[in-house]
Amino acid sequence: MQENFQQKCFKPAKYFNQLRVLVQLRNLENQLDIAMETITKFFKEERDPLFRRGEAKGEARGKAEGEAKKNYEFVSNLILETKFSDAKIAQLAIVSEDFVQKVRADLAKKKK
């Protein structure tokens, strides 16, 4: 009895996954976007699990990019304003020495 109930509950999920695969295989993203626009009155994207998952991924990516930019700026300022070695800068900025060397190389290219 329990298995029958689970099969009924997850049957729509199976069809939804099949639809997603079909859309990707047939390059129907534009048509799907148009179709989804027409149902926005009834369907809230913010409540969709895939929307939330994509939103979380986007937030994580943005956070990582912001952290990388902050590290790059901090390391470049230390390189330009101090006479510290790469090892000391890496220790202060909590980054790898390779990262410091890459920033130093980028700054050298910009000077030319």
Region of 44 on the Ramachandran plot (φ > 0 left; ψ -120 to 50 alpha; else beta)? beta
Please determine, for residue 96, whether its predicted confidence score (pLDDT) is greater than 80. yes
Pairwise pLDDT comparison (65 vs 21), residue with the higher score? 65
Question: What is the reported pLDDT for 5?
Answer: 53
Q: Where are the domains of the chain?
A: 11-42, 63-111
Q: Structure pTM?
A: 0.58
Tens-place pLDDT, residues 64-95: 999 999 999 999 999 999 999 999 999 999 99
Check: CB of residue 100 under 8 Å from CB of residue 89. Answer: yes
The values of phi and psi at residue 65, to 5°, are -65, -40
Tens-place pLDDT, residues 5-18: 555 555 667 777 77
